[in-house]
A = this chain, B = another copy of it.
């Protein structure tokens, strides 16, 4: 049985990565890829890694036909107004924008300064993070695929939240160090190579929208503390390392943490615990995850003169586990395929 899929908004980085994965997926046929501005051109003119891999051309979004799974990769705010049409076009819709990630319409007002046009549908969308919502994904009609920083932060913190060991009176500080592809494919002064190359640049020290997802999902795990997320741009194209600083509500040992993380991730196909005592690669690092769907998670426990701090590190490729890879993982779950199908690439070393 081959599934027919299409990509709405296929000229961006997320759309291109989805296309790469879906072209290589043994159970999938890519039917259409849309781009209003590039309609009629071969997809490899925009995604040069796909030369000789496909003869697909972009079509206008107006030409979309019905498919089994429709992936929507539109800019935030452009999906919700046309959601009814998307639900007609796809038996299943997997939306990689932020438009249906938050259940609470008020959160869109707070974090996006945006009045959601279809709050009635928010409760029906499933937040597409398999490690927290696998069972709901199996039955979902509409999957809202998580944000990249959110994915890294939530996967780092969820085990602690579930285990109930977080001191909820203490804010959690999360620092995400990110590459340039997360800001998308549009050129601008800040992404001009001489300006962007080699920076260690505060990108969004406060008020990052992905905070809303972290708050929502930690609440799913128990109750969310205050969250202060800061995002710093560093020299990389792909990759996020999210470092979360957590204060526990009781004395913990390293062994406790091993048990807590293993309990949640021991059977997960795409989450690895990385915590070595020797060698170069002792903690999670995004570089070697490039192109893979893994989230690597590790931690360090420290005593700050009487108070314990847990430093949780989680690393992903923002275009894979942080976007396209996670969307394909959700599709696999939804359609009953092996969860890792088409996502087997392990990453490269050295890179």
Contacts and interface: CB of A to CB of B under 8 A. Distances in A.
B24 A346 contact: yes
A350 to B, nearest CB: 4
B200 A192 contact: no
A23 B345 CA distance: 11
Contacts of A201: 241, 283, 285, 287
Interface string A229-253: 0101011111111010101000000
**Interface residue tally of chain A, by bracket?**
35 or more
A297 to B, nearest CB: 12
A39 interface: no
Identical copies in the complex: 4
A106 B47 CA distance: 41
A283 to B, nearest CB: 4
A274 interface: yes
Interface string A244-286: 0101000000000000000000000000101010011111111
A195 interface: yes
Interface in A33-76: 45, 47-53
B193 A196 contact: yes
A6 B47 CA distance: 36
A200 B236 contact: yes
Interface of A: 13, 16-17, 20, 23-24, 45, 47-53, 170-171, 173, 175, 177, 179-181, 185-202, 205-207, 226-228, 230, 232, 234-241, 243, 245, 247, 272, 274, 276, 279-288, 290-292, 294, 296, 298, 300-302, 304-307, 309, 311, 313, 315, 344-351
A16 B349 contact: yes
B280 A195 contact: yes
A241 B202 contact: yes
Given A16-B349, A53-B346, A304-B227, A243 B202 contact: yes
Contact of A234 (B177, B345, B347): B177
Contacts of A234: 177, 200, 234-236
A193 B243 contact: no
Contacts of A284: 202
B232 A199 contact: no
Contacts of A237: 193-194, 197-198, 350-351
Given A24-B344, A190-B280, A280-B195, A245 B272 contact: no
B197 A193 contact: yes
Given A52-B272, A193-B193, A197-B197, 6 more contacts: A24-B346, A171-B309, A185-B350, A190-B280, A195-B350, A230-B243
A239 B221 CA distance: 38
B351 A290 contact: yes
Contacts of A238: 348, 350-351
A210 to B, nearest CB: 14
B199 A287 contact: yes
A283 B292 CA distance: 27
